[in-house]
Chain A
Amino acid sequence: MAIVDTAPPVTAAPAPAGTGYWSGVLSRMLRDPLTLVCLSVVLALVLSAIFAPWLGLADPFKGSMIQRLKPIGTPGHILGTDEQGRDMLARLVYGGRLTLFIGLMPVVLAFFIGGFLGIVAGYVGGLLNTLIMRTVDVFFAFPSVLLAIAISGALGAGIVNSLVSLTIVFIPPITRIAEAVTSGVRALDYIEAARASGAGTLTVIRVHVIGNVLSPIFVYATSLTSVCMILAAGLSFLGIGVRPPEPEWGLMLNTLRSAIYVNPWVSALPGLLIFVTSLCLNLLSDGVRSAMNVRD
C-alpha cells in the first residue's frame, strides 16, 4: 500500500523500553514555543489569582470618592481606579479568581459528566445510546449562549447558578464527542479480543476503553475552556451571573462601560484580560492536541 511504503518501517532496535506516554506529551509540548508562551500566561494568571491575598495588593472592595477613574500610571494605583475609586490592579487580580473559577469549573464538571454519559452511550449502544444521545440533541438545538442565558435567567443570578447553567451548556458537546470516539474505539479489534478473552463490560471499559478515549475528550474539553470563560463573563456582563460588588471581569466590563469616554484605557482592561486569557487557552489546547498525537 502506498502510504505504508512512504512511512519508515518500524524496527525493533530503537525506542528505549518503556518511555511513558505522558512524559512524551510533555516533552513535545515543551518544544513548541507558542504553546510554551500561552502556558506561562495562563499559569501566571492562575497563580496570581490563587495567591492574590498574599501579593500585597490594595483592598479590592475599598473605594474612594475622590480617587474615581484615575488613569493608568497613577501613583499608588498602577492600573488606575474604577468608577468607585477601587484599585484596578487588585480588582483585576481578585477578579481573575472568580472569572477563572466559573470559566474553568463548568468544563471540568461537564468533562466528567459528559464523558461518562458519552462513554456509556458509545460502548453499550442500542436503546441506551438512543436515549442519551437524543436527550443531548435537545440541548443542542439551542445556541450555547442562548441556552446559558435562558438557564441562568430561570435560576437567577449568583455564582452557583452560573456554574450550573454553564455546566449544562457544555455537557452535550462533550457527550457527543465522547460517544463518537468511544463507538470508534469499540469497533477496533483489541476490544473484540478483550471481549473474546471473557472480560465483562465494565472491565473492558475500564482497561481498554477509557485510556484510549480520554485524551481526545480531554483535548476537546480544553478547547471549550475559552468559550466557557467568555460565556461566564458574558453572563456577569448581562447581570445574570456574579453579583456586584464581587470583582469579576465580565461584571467589571459592564460597570466600567459608562466610563468609556472618561477613561477608555482603564475601561478596556477587563475586556483585554478576557481576550488574552481565552486566546491563550485556545492556543494552549491546540498545542496539547498536537503534542498528544502519538504516532508522529
Chain B
Amino acid sequence: MSVIDATVLPGPEAPIDKGGPNQPLLIVKDLKKHFPVRGGILGRNKVMVQAVDGVSFSVRKGETLGIVGESGCGKSTTARLIVGLIEKDAGEIIYDGEGLGDVLSLRDLRRGVQMVFQDSYASLNPRLTIEDSIAFGASVQGLSDPLGRAHSLMARVGLDPARFAQRYPHEISGGQRQRINIARALAMSPRLVVLDEAVSALDKSVEAQVLNLLADLRAELGLTYIFISHDLNVVRYISDRVLVMYLGEVVEVAPVDAIWARQAHPYSGSLFSAMPSMDPDTRTKKPPLTGDPPNPINPPSGCRFHTRCRYAEAVCKTRVPALQPIAAAPDHLAACHLHDLSSGHEKAGKEGLL
C-alpha cells in the first residue's frame, strides 16, 4: 500500500462536462428557506425564521466563491440547500445547466456536489474506521473498488493508509480528521465542494496545512469550491469572488481584489473594518457598528441593514434595494440605495461615501 498513484480519480468514472466551459457550474436563483419556530401555548403560533430569503448567485467552473457573513445571515443554510440536505421552499438550483427537480435528480446532484463540515469530529461516524468512512459514499454510489479509492485518497490528503486506515476518528488529531473529511467528500469525484467553515475549528498552524491541501486539490482535480467562513483573511486567500450575506440576503458580490479595495455596501464596509488590526501602532479606535445583528425571526423592513446603517434614510426603511452592478464595475454587485441614482436616497451616487 506504500506505492500510491497520486492522480487517481479521473478514470471511467470521471464526471462529464455537460454544459461546456461557459456554463456556470452552479446557478442559484431566488432561493428561499423559512424555518418555522414554535411559539405560544402548545406551539400554535408559528413564527418563521427567514433563514435564506431570495438568494441568487452563480459559481463558474473552476472558481472559488467565498461566502462571508455573521451568525444568522444564512450562509450555512445556503450550503445545506445547495447540497440538498434540506429542501428549498422556493427558487431554483441549476447544476451544470440542469435544474434540480426537473432534469436532475437529488441523487445525481449529490454525485457532483459534496460538503465538508466545520466540526471534524461530529462529521465522522465514531464507530467506523477511517477507511470505511471514506469508502461509504463511493460504495453507496456504486463506484468500483471503494476501499482502493479510500486508500489512494488517504494518501492524497497526506495520511499514510498503512498507518491510518484502521484507526477510529477519536484516535487522530483534529487536522487529520479534517483531512479525512475532505477525502470522504472527494470519494465520489464531485466537481463542486462546499466547505462550510471547514478550517475554522482548526488551530492556526494546522489551518494553513489544510488550506495548502485544498489549494493543491483544486489545481489537480479541477475542483470548484464554495468556501464559507467568518474569517475574512482566509476567504481572501482562497477565493476568487466574495459574496457577503446579511440576514438571509446577499448584499454584495464582487471579485476578491475589488471588494478588498472598495466595499460597496455599508455592511461589507463595517464587516471589513471590524477585522482586528495586525499592527500594534494602528489599532482600531472605534467599532464600525454598535449592537448585535438583529434576529432573523423578524427582520427589519426595506433594507435589512437600515437599523444599523449610518447612511440610512427614510427610503431604506420602506424599499428593498435590488442587487445590481455598481457604476464603476459590471462584476461588482451591491444591494444598496446609495448606488441607485433613482432610489430617492439623498446621498445616492455621491462619490467618496463607500
Tell me if B111 counts as interface (CB < 8 A to partner A).
Answer: yes
The smallest beta-carbon distance between B189 and chain A, in angstroms, is: 12
How many Å lie between the Cα of A196 and that of B125 in the bound state? Answer: 14
Contact of B136 (CB < 8 Å), options: A9, A199, A211? A199
Contact of A21 (CB < 8 Å), options: B106, B127, B174, B176? B127
Tell me if B58 counts as interface (CB < 8 A to partner A).
Answer: no
Q: A18-B166, A197-B110, A199-B136 are in contact. Are A208 and B171 (CB under 8 A)?
A: no
Tell me if A207 counts as interface (CB < 8 A to partner B).
Answer: yes
- Asked if residues A198 and B137 are in contact (CB atoms below 8 Å), the reply is yes
Which bucket holds chain B's interface residue count? Answer: 35 or more
Tell me if A10 counts as interface (CB < 8 A to partner B).
Answer: yes
Contact of A192 (CB < 8 Å), options: B117, B133, B141? B117
- Which B162-183 residues sit within 8 Å CB-CB of chain A? 163-168, 170-174, 176, 181
CB neighbours (8 Å) of A211 from chain B are 125, 127-128
CB neighbours (8 Å) of A194 from chain B are 125, 136-137, 140
How many Å lie between the Cα of A10 and that of B168 in the bound state? Answer: 12
How many Å lie between the Cα of A294 and that of B111 in the bound state? Answer: 34
CB neighbours (8 Å) of B133 from chain A are 190
- Asked if residues A198 and B136 are in contact (CB atoms below 8 Å), the reply is no
How many Å lie between the Cα of A144 and that of B102 in the bound state? Answer: 53
- Which B58-110 residues sit within 8 Å CB-CB of chain A? 80, 83-85, 106-107, 110
Tell me if A11 counts as interface (CB < 8 A to partner B).
Answer: yes
Q: A12-B176, A203-B140 are in contact. Are A195 and B85 (CB under 8 A)?
A: yes
CB neighbours (8 Å) of A15 from chain B are 167, 171
- Asked if residues A193 and B126 are in contact (CB atoms below 8 Å), the reply is no
- Asked if residues B136 and A207 are in contact (CB atoms below 8 Å), the reply is yes
- Asked if residues A198 and B127 are in contact (CB atoms below 8 Å), the reply is no
CB neighbours (8 Å) of A212 from chain B are 125-127
Q: A10-B174, A198-B137, A211-B125 are in contact. Are A193 and B188 (CB under 8 A)?
A: no
A–B Cβ pairs within 8 angstroms, 25 of them: A9-B173, A10-B171, A10-B174, A12-B163, A15-B167, A15-B171, A17-B164, A188-B122, A189-B118, A189-B123, A192-B80, A192-B115, A193-B117, A194-B136, A194-B137, A196-B114, A197-B136, A197-B141, A197-B188, A198-B107, A198-B111, A207-B125, A208-B125, A211-B127, A212-B127
A residues lining the B interface (CB < 8 Å): 9-12, 15, 17-18, 21, 188-190, 192-199, 203, 207-208, 211-212, 294-295
B residues lining the A interface (CB < 8 Å): 80, 83-85, 106-107, 110-111, 114-115, 117-119, 122-129, 133, 136-137, 140-141, 163-168, 170-174, 176, 181, 184-185, 187-188
- The 5 nearest A-B residue pairs measured at CB: A197-B137, A18-B166, A189-B123, A211-B127, A198-B110
